[in-house]
Structure 1
Amino acid sequence: MSHIAFLNIPGHGHINPTLPVVTELVARGHRVTYAVPAGFTGPVEHAGAVPVVYPTTLPVADQEWPTETAPAMKLFLDEAVALLPVLEAAYADDRPDVVVYDIGAWTARILAARWGVRAIQFSPTFVAYEGWEEDMGAINDTPEMKAVYAEIGAWLRSEGVTVDAPTFVGHPDRAVVSIPRSFQYGGDTVADKYTFVGPCIGDRSFQGSWHAPADGRPVLLVSLGSAYTNEPSFYRACLEAFGDSDWHVVMNIGKHVDRAALGPIPANFEVHRWLPQLEILSHAKVFITHCGMGGTMEGLYHGVPMVGVPTLGEQAMNAMRLVELGVGRYLPHKQVTAEALREAVRELAGDRDVADRLAAIRSEIRAAGGTAAAADVVEEGLR
């Protein structure tokens, strides 16, 4: 029985895509441990892994991530500095045979090198392509980013790592990518060390159940994810746009917004603070989303057209990519009105060409192999 260690960061969009792979690896006879903060032990145990619990310094619960790249990377660095000795001690008497790690789990490559085992990155988002550095130049050349990279480099040298900071952060030795190649920018120029397996979808029964309306109305799902949900004006615009319409609207408002402050809730609306998104998407006709990569992939997996209302830079890239592929619309927050939301949803719901393009992407996703293909790459690391 091989021991496979997963190292991740405390984010649903990062942890959820890996859980079906954990279940698959356990079913194949491997023992899996998973380093996570206490708030994520339930899903990890449900997937079949043994949690290795650590205290995180990253934003969790009601805290929000910074919207700029440099402050976010500084958070990853602070987490890595604090976490390296903790995880090294936790695994001292139970060293893994291979390490699978998230793009933000920077301790993993250092620990894998010390243990003499392979490290395989699990990327739930875009990866480097030919010309990546040039395209990222405007971001990486800012004083803030240069300062963060200098600090990362100093930390790496103090830990005996000779790789420079940009290479360490952005260029793994081997990687699984849980998006379809067609969604990746410059997908045909990405190196062979990256294996695009598409979304890894598995059992989410631990998130609860949901039942489609008995009256047969088309389902419209509205969710801004789990972090940046303090948007009462956005939710009111949705209520105005689709209240008393032919849609059955399922709307997630998160933890921050006072439901009473939204005013009367139309009879055709369900309003929740948390919902089993994957289950609802299997019934939805359109998805209004912040375009986090996890939700975007779940929408594509189920062939659901999306209206993107992003907050962060990566989310905006996802929304723009949906537009480029002809399967979505992009509405910046400043342009969100009831009328704009109605029009975007109307266009997507009735467009046969959009449906055909989504069907092609669904076929690509199924052919990519998903969970089983990801597990194959991990097992390759054992050999």
Structure 2
Amino acid sequence: MSKHIVFAVPPGHGHVNPTLPLVEQLVARGHRITYLTAIDMKAKVEAVGAAHIEMPWHRPQRPGGQAFTFSIEMFAGMLALMREQAVQALPALLEHFRQDRPDVILYDSFSAVGAMLAAELDVPLVRLMPSMAFNDHYTIRDAMVLGGVPAGEELDKSMAAFGEAQATFQASVGEPVLNLVFVPREFQIAGDSFDGSYRFLGPSVGSRADSQGWRPPADGSPVLFISLGTAFNDRPDFFDQCIEAFGDSRWHVVMSVGDKVELPEAPANFEVAPSFPQPAVLAAATVFLSHTGMNSTLESLYYGVPLVSVPQMFEQTVNGRRAVELGLGRQLDPEALSAQLLRDTVEQVAADPVIRANVTKIGEQLRAVDGAALGADAIEELLAR
């Protein structure tokens, strides 16, 4: 029986992209999807069969050309702002959804309006987790310390205030009955410690696997993909180092620089653009020089491509460290880069037979699992109760 399923997701590509194959799967099964996100994601969600409703969204800003500095206060402030925006949007959304009632609401933790709607409408709530999940065995504090945030009294004080605010909000909306994690259990830290309310789906690509016009080089040159993602990529210094490191080399370099920097002049062996169809490039890549956001990390592993991590914030540092721990690549200090170090590390990773064997194995494992189908099964099981 067809159900009305609502997604509430912030407009970051790393949040929206993992959900799109799940939307496609649910639409194919006859369900109707309404997707709440910012206007710049409208075309993307409509392309997979969802109806779009615009939600306001504030993106964090930082001075151009600087590495991203994380603090728990900044994170808590961002969540508080999201909740303020959700409160403002809630009356109009309630008016809409009381006339078109959903059967279940799936929400990303950064989109508090989803949880608020579910509480007001008294419908089941499912949490979408595009990055690693947290519990008593692996906490946000653990992640921050692993990501380079100094441990100590200051962090503990900040975490106590943050935890209290989070608990107050969660008590006001209720706990989700199901958590869909777009991370494979084998990559999740403390993965065996999560109970059955957490379903580890792993990555799916869906129709994004289409090349969208990009083709690998005709001469068979090895492809090096370079990207710092879509959020914190205002690093012209980094892109200049990459040009120095790999210009006129054996590599065919595909470099995504985002829309915050001017497109640099580059040698003939470079393709440079604000963005590329990432799955298509990774399907042909030999190495991915990446910020290791979770979406990029998992798509790289899905295609069996080793990683060289240049993280821009704490979560990405954790992802890069996890990749190193599992023998899937190397990690560099983003504040201690040089063209020589970039070149040497990429060449070493490309030539390392152990890393190559490990990424080939995990790629085969990830591609053998239909995460979108598993997620749709879990939602249908919930709705059948």
Query: What TM-score does the superposition give when structure 1 sets the normalisation length?
Result: 0.89
2:83 alignment partner, one of 77, 80, 99:
80
User: Following TM superposition, by how much is the alpha carbon of 1:21 offset from its aligned partner in structure 2, in angstroms?
Assistant: 0.7
CA distance in 2, matches of 1:29, 1:154: 37
Give the percent of matched residue pairs that are identical in Structure 1 and Structure 2: 38
Q: Tell me the SS of whatever aligns to 2:128.
A: strand
* Shift in CA distance, 218/207, structure 1 to aligned 2, threshold 3 Å: closer
Match of 1:91 in 2: 97
Q: Which deviates more, 94-103 or 366-375?
A: 366-375
5+ residue gaps, structure 1, are none
User: Following TM superposition, by how much is the alpha carbon of 1:251 offset from its aligned partner in structure 2, in angstroms?
Assistant: 0.6
* Shift in CA distance, 96/66, structure 1 to aligned 2, threshold 3 Å: farther
Match of 2:322 in 1: 321
1:128 alignment partner, one of 126, 134, 143:
134
* Shift in CA distance, 66/32, structure 1 to aligned 2, threshold 3 Å: farther
CA distance in 1, matches of 2:289, 2:44: 25
User: Following TM superposition, by how much is the alpha carbon of 1:89 offset from its aligned partner in structure 2, in angstroms?
Assistant: 3.1
User: Following TM superposition, by how much is the alpha carbon of 1:99 offset from its aligned partner in structure 2, in angstroms?
Assistant: 1.0
User: Following TM superposition, by how much is the alpha carbon of 1:215 offset from its aligned partner in structure 2, in angstroms?
Assistant: 0.8
2:216 alignment partner, one of 195, 212, 218:
212
Q: Tell me the SS of whatever aligns to 1:267.
A: coil
The answer to whether the 8 A contact 2:210-2:280 is kept is: no
Q: Which deviates more, 340-349 or 364-373?
A: 364-373
User: Following TM superposition, by how much is the alpha carbon of 1:146 offset from its aligned partner in structure 2, in angstroms?
Assistant: 3.7
Q: Tell me the SS of whatever aligns to 1:329.
A: strand
Q: Tell me the SS of whatever aligns to 1:333.
A: coil
User: Following TM superposition, by how much is the alpha carbon of 1:88 offset from its aligned partner in structure 2, in angstroms?
Assistant: 2.5
Q: Tell me the SS of whatever aligns to 2:80.
A: helix
| CA deviation string 1:114-159 (max 9, x = no partner) | 32321111111111245224736958954444444445556667xx
The answer to whether the 8 A contact 1:66-1:72 is kept is: no
CA distance in 2, matches of 1:250, 1:92: 48
The answer to whether the 8 A contact 1:129-1:191 is kept is: no
The answer to whether the 8 A contact 2:72-2:158 is kept is: no
- Number of aligned residue pairs: 370
CA distance in 2, matches of 1:54, 1:90: 13
Match of 1:184 in 2: 188
Q: Tell me the SS of whatever aligns to 1:121.
A: strand
Match of 1:67 in 2: 70
Match of 2:334 in 1: 333
| CA deviation string 1:157-190 (max 9, x = no partner) | 7xx55x6xxxx6xxx4311111111110011212
The answer to whether the 8 A contact 2:223-2:252 is kept is: yes
* Shift in CA distance, 207/113, structure 1 to aligned 2, threshold 3 Å: farther
Q: For 1:272, give the aligned amino acid.
A: A
Match of 2:247 in 1: 243
The answer to whether the 8 A contact 2:236-2:261 is kept is: yes
Q: Tell me the SS of whatever aligns to 1:254.
A: coil
Match of 2:110 in 1: 104
Q: For 1:109, give the aligned amino acid.
A: A
The answer to whether the 8 A contact 1:8-1:14 is kept is: yes
CA distance in 2, matches of 1:108, 1:54: 11
* Shift in CA distance, 191/320, structure 1 to aligned 2, threshold 3 Å: same
The answer to whether the 8 A contact 2:94-2:117 is kept is: yes
| CA deviation string 1:37-86 (max 9, x = no partner) | 111111010010001112223449x9998732331232222222321424
The answer to whether the 8 A contact 1:251-1:271 is kept is: yes
* Shift in CA distance, 44/71, structure 1 to aligned 2, threshold 3 Å: same
Q: For 1:13, give the aligned amino acid.
A: G
User: Following TM superposition, by how much is the alpha carbon of 1:359 offset from its aligned partner in structure 2, in angstroms?
Assistant: 2.1
CA distance in 2, matches of 1:78, 1:19: 26
Q: Which deviates more, 272-281 or 354-363?
A: 354-363
Q: For 1:81, give the aligned amino acid.
A: E
Residues 1:193 and 2:197 are matched in the alignment: yes
The answer to whether the 8 A contact 1:175-1:193 is kept is: yes
5+ residue gaps, structure 2, are 146-150
The answer to whether the 8 A contact 2:209-2:279 is kept is: no
RMSD, aligned α-carbons: 2.6
| CA deviation string 1:74-108 (max 9, x = no partner) | 22222223214243233221121011111222232
Q: Which deviates more, 284-293 or 135-144?
A: 135-144
Match of 2:148 in 1: none
CA distance in 1, matches of 2:349, 2:57: 41
Counterparts of residues 102-181 of structure 1 (less than 5 Å): 102-133=108-139, 135=142, 138=151, 141-152=155-166, 160-161=172-173, 172-181=176-185
CA distance in 1, matches of 2:156, 2:96: 37
Match of 2:266 in 1: 265
Q: Tell me the SS of whatever aligns to 1:132.
A: coil
Residues 1:382 and 2:378 are matched in the alignment: no
Query: What TM-score does the superposition give when structure 2 sets the normalisation length?
Result: 0.88
CA distance in 2, matches of 1:68, 1:219: 36
CA distance in 2, matches of 1:182, 1:154: 32
Match of 1:361 in 2: 362
The answer to whether the 8 A contact 1:10-1:58 is kept is: no
CA distance in 2, matches of 1:288, 1:188: 30
